[in-house]
Amino acid sequence: MNKLIFRKFSIDIINFFLIASFSVTFIIWIIQAVNFLELISDDGHSLDVYFYFISLNLPKIFSKTIIFVFFISIFYVINKYKNSNELIVFWNNGIQKIKFINFILKFSLLFLILQLILNLFVVPKSQSLGRLYIKESNIDFLPKLISEKKFINVVKNLTIFVEEYKKDGKLNKIYINEKIGSGESKIIVSESGRIIKKNKNYILRLNNGGITNISKNNTYTLKFSETDYDLSEFSTKTTTHSKVQELDSIKLLICIKEIFIGEEISAEQIINKPENDACHKRKVKSIGEELYKRLILPFYTLIISLIAASLVIEPKSKYLVKFHKLNIFLTGISVIILSQLALKFFLSSINILYLILFLPICLIIIYYIVLLIITKFKLSYL
């Protein structure tokens, strides 16, 4: 009987969690999707590239909302059970309050494991895939970005100006400025041209013009009646180098191991390890903070589950019941905020580092002992 009761209770939490988390994730995803519209408007990517890229942000958004939504889910379901007197079923079947709290703590381990899997493997992989896809994608929205009498620079080291862009796709009076290197550039002027897609890449077929190569030492000009200008060799202006949040977790752990072996370090120190691409030219602080988000932050799921479970402990005074609920809710929110604030002080000193590393475990032990004492001696929570 007890298994059936706990099964229904856990299913109610999971159902509310799924509905709430998907709703919150979807809203945040829509907002981010609007912010990423510059991939089309400014960087010249197609709608396929855009939707694929923003879809890969879903695991990251979901992982960031788990702690908050999980706390709200437990808080809401327990409060609902209390208001409908369904908690009496637990007590009438001989389930002690501490056993009820123990079940919630064990149940929260599933969400802890879920977070660790997302943070350590799924999110870094999805972020890396998104960046790689952007890097390898063509500037296939270029024809719609070119406008009359405007300088277009959607790709690095290239500026295009068109005097007239006709409806049939013909371009008149084209100016192209390509930066080749330090102090070197190429200027192309053409009377007319047309953008053509060839082998999934875009080229500019130019007619009647000249190419001027400018360097520090000399300048020379070549005339042409027709030439093809390949646009595929240019990369998008979107940042394509890997960020810390896109790196493999094992590589980050190796970085930390190499950093702390035999040397004093500071948070703002730049790591100089050319043999390790994951660490090289990155700040110690950025790597430490990323590992904190992936490894330490998920353990706050356990403490906020205990806080939400505190709802089953009634204060002696009925007048304090509503304040009891408010107190529990604010305590949970405060712990979630604390978990984020701890990130700001991470690596500020070695003592604070150890404090922040063991803070969630200490909070779990202390809060559980308090709940154990309260339930054993039937004390008032407030």
DSSP assignment string, 111-148: HHHHHHHIIIIIHHHHHHHHHHHHHHS--TTHHHH--B
If one counts the domains in the chain, the total is: 2
Q: What is the mean pLDDT of the chain?
A: 85
E-strand ranges in the chain read 151-152, 158-165, 170-181, 184-198, 201-214, 219-230
Assess if residue 60 is contained within a domain: yes
H or E element in which residue 58 lies: helix 58-83
Q: Identify whether residues 249 and 102 lie together within a single domain.
A: yes
27, pLDDT greater than 90 = yes
User: Is 126 part of any domain?
Assistant: yes
Lowest mean pLDDT among 5-19, 47-61, 227-241: 227-241
Domain interval for residue 303: 2-136+242-377
3-state secondary structure of 323: helix
62-76, 118-132, 169-183, 222-236: segment of lowest average pLDDT: 222-236
Single out the residue in 230, 258, 274 at which a domain terminates.
230
187 domain-assigned: yes
Choose the weakest-confidence range: 14-23, 101-110, 114-123, 286-295. 286-295
* SS3 at position 362: helix
pLDDT value of position 169: 76
Residues 75, 211 within the same domain: no
* Residue 223 predicted with pLDDT over 80: yes
Does residue 351 have a pLDDT over 70? yes
Among 155-159, 340-344, 357-361, whose mean pLDDT is lowest? 155-159
pTM of the prediction?
0.79
pLDDT of residue 354: 82
**Selected residue with higher pLDDT from 44 and 287:** 287
Banded pLDDT at 217 (limits 50, 70, 90): confident
